[in-house]
Amino acid sequence: MNSFRLKLIVALSLLVLVFLTGVFGFRMIMDLNWIDAFYMTAITITTVGYREVVLPSDEAKIFITILILSSVVILGFVVSVLTEYFISFSSLNDLKQKRKLKKIQKMENHIIVCGYGRNGQQAASKLMEFHKDFLVIDKDQEVLEKSDLRPEQYLVGNANDDDVLLTAGIEKASNLITALPDDADNLFVVLSARQLNKNLRIISRATEETSYKKLKLAGANNVILPDKIGGQHMASLIVSPDLLEFWDNLSYGDSKSVNLEQVSFEQLFDHETPSTILELDLRQKTGCTIIGFKTAEGEYIVNPNPNIHLTPNSKIIVIGNSDQIKTLQEVYSI
């Protein structure tokens, strides 16, 4: 880039120099006024061939010949530099796009977020906080480019298009969040995603309660109604104001914000021997607290007994601030 910039500066400098030489030369040799000198220089350099202002003398003819030859060479150099720039710029963009698609193709067990509106941005921010591999799909290129996302974290396109979902690696993805503003679009994405990946966990946003059952039937594992949750939250502030205010202060703080994380038996241990929650000693190692347990059969236990045995296919649900969750992820390579 620095080499090209130098070439461009040299080319433009030569162009300006030859033009000024022409203006001053016609002014002095042919005794023209500034307008006529400018005019003669322009038609000479561009080799247009309009009629001269005055008939040139022999001395002027020699000057015009030298000016034409010089300007042809310099203009050719300027055109070649500009052509090189446009070709290299296009090639560079193509190369960047190819590299980006290669990185996306290598992604496995990642999360696809369809839509980068308010809910999509919140989802992406949370996934980024937890260092999860994810890819955002949205039609608005300008919004994506101005976001905090890295180029390999977003794909410009319509999530309703199967080809776009395939490019996003939906066949190898583990989860999909569709947060498009229109319920019909979300329904279409859920149907397409479920056909392309039977094992995909799909979480969909819905605006209308009537869309809930349709999205579930289409294949969504979970359907979230943000407006309903918001209304319930506001009502809870009246019923239990101190409790909700306490939770809000924890949830929307900075590094001390509260986060939940689920950890499987297989992530905790490299063996299949049952171990108790007490033997795990998670709070001492990470600072996180175990608040829930999911058995291998799918039963949930709140505030589990420390003597409960962790077995293969079971999971624990822990709570902790961002630093504690980060420590948990580092200790168990989650």
Fold observed for domain 1-101: Helix Hairpins (1.10.287)
Residue that is written with structure tokens 């946003």 in the block: 205
Task: Note the pLDDT of residue 22.
Answer: 86
Helical spans, DSSP H, in 106-220 = 118-129, 141-146, 162-167, 183-196, 210-218
| Amino acid sitting at position 256 | K
Distance CA 211, CA 58 (A): 88
Distance CA 326, CA 265 (A): 18
Task: Note the pLDDT of residue 90.
Answer: 58
Angle, in degrees to the nearest 10, between helices 58-105 and 34-45: 60
The DSSP line for 284-303 is HHHS-EEEEEE-TTS-EEES
- Cβ contact 119:186 at 8 Å: no
Name the nearest CA neighbour of 218 among 242, 253, 191: 191
Task: Note the pLDDT of residue 298.
Answer: 85
Angle, in degrees to the nearest 10, between helices 2-29 and 34-45: 130
Name the nearest CA neighbour of 159 among 214, 225, 209, 113: 113
The phi, psi pair for 311, rounded to 5°, reads -125, 165
Residues of the chain with CATH 3.40.50.720: 107-230
pLDDT tens-digit profile of 59-87? 888 888 888 888 888 888 888 877 777 76
The mean pLDDT value for 113-134 works out to: 89
pLDDT tens-digit profile of 247-291? 666 555 455 567 778 888 888 887 778 888 998 889 888 999 999
- Cβ contact 320:328 at 8 Å: yes
Q: What mean pLDDT is reported for the chain?
A: 84
What's this model's pTM, rounded to 2 decimal places?
0.56
Task: Note the pLDDT of residue 4.
Answer: 66
Helical spans, DSSP H, in the chain = 2-29, 34-45, 58-105, 118-129, 141-146, 162-167, 183-196, 210-218, 226-239, 241-251, 265-268, 277-280, 282-286, 322-331
Six-digit token string for 179 = 């947060």
The answer on pLDDT for 196 being more than 90 is yes
* C-alpha to C-alpha distances, 280 to 65, 285, 327, nearest whole angstrom: 91, 9, 15
3 state SS of 118: helix
Residue 186's pLDDT band (cuts 50, 70, 90):
very high
Six-digit token string for 108 = 């496995």
Q: At CA 97, angle to CA 105 and CA 82, rounded to 5?
A: 165
pLDDT tens-digit profile of 160-175? 999 999 999 999 999 9
- Cβ contact 233:244 at 8 Å: yes
- Cβ contact 114:159 at 8 Å: yes
Q: Looking at the DSSP assignment, which residues form a beta bridge with residue 260?
A: 319
The answer on pLDDT for 181 being more than 70 is yes
Distance CA 199, CA 171 (A): 9
| Amino acid sitting at position 182 | D
3 state SS of 104: helix
Residues of the chain with CATH 3.30.70.1450: 257-332
The superfamily CATH assigns to domain 257-332 is Regulator of K+ conductance, C-terminal domain (3.30.70.1450)
To the question of domain 107-230 being in CATH 3.20.20.70, the answer is no
